[in-house]
Structure 1
């Protein structure tokens, strides 16, 4: 297997090795604080083990739902979505409301002093019609005044971020820049942005540095890659069958893409492969 100096942070392995690092949570805590735009440092992040997983079409074995709580009992759900997902906001609402119901039930249906719930999603493709690459949303009235801030949805649309390293200043921008560029970065640290020397980012970069990986870590990375490839091939085969049946029923390419929540280009690619066989 031939890989570059750094594993993509947005990959299944990279996401779990950084955001899901169980031995050191500095990167996770700093990233969460930046994502929710809080001036108050998060002192502790306790990872939960009940991650949802589901097959995707974008070279990842699943959607990794990283769930954690901070020292105040606030809940965080972090998602990574690399494929085309035009209805991803609905999926975020499902996860957030599921967590909300769980919290309420544990509190014996007492609604006072509920902990905050933050559902955070990193999206490779744009899904919102707005130009902002970081969107923080909660319940507001028609004048934009807050009604309730107990449940917050946060979307980061990576495709909309185009800042260069020399204009990056906030921790949020440092995080997004690193997520978008690390896997293409040169091996020589002299050529890196100066903010990559900050401890929280340096810890994450070290986790993704292939030159510093132990034999066990290399094996785990190879294992993730092999599992992902098998899963994607199996899903492509399944969807190819769905496309053939859908066309026989008279559905258009656009309808097939919408029903299966994939891009039109992806459906056309599978159709071309079927025609070439």
Structure 2
């Protein structure tokens, strides 16, 4: 469920002042539709440049994702926008990123964005997990597998994004991944698997066609069939839980995509 958005102008004056210590005077603000898990999601224009600001109240139950993003940022060169600074003041935890010129990825068949996203996933697949506290894929998905042993198929030492929602992919000259709060350590083929579900959900991709795009990521071609099958089933179970008895249209679309992929994997 998306977090309730708060207008940048409604932040305390003390927070505005602290931001201006980094940026110089604010000239104008531009709310964004991205960052569904952020209370603040705004591009700010200042005398020194344009910044993207995202944040949560310091007592928000998911404020840990701010810390996670700040800790992971130094390891994401060429994969994500640069983190410029973190500000914790007067009840708020804010991150300031390099503002990107680009658009949310288009995942529909024939989109030129697809090859750029695949290239970024290849770069990510070569990035080892840094020595910081991270979630682990086998732990995150353990409750959703049919057999306990299946979860171990997701274990590994690769850095994963795990939320390939097209709104988390900004495409310009290259595709960059944003919103790293759920960064995870696991098998290097898992992000390609997450991408499969989003490709199907975008419309026009069959499960087979979506897996062909996943195959542009070398790690996917090394994944065991048993692991892919278990991963597809686990994600169908994840989306069943997220959807609940009365899903909205967005969630229903992802649930249908996850079910479609799982059914395909059970038949191959």
TM-score (norm 2): 0.28
TM-score (norm 1): 0.28
Determine which structure has the larger strand proportion and give its number: 2
Higher relative contact order (CA 8 A, sep 6+): 1
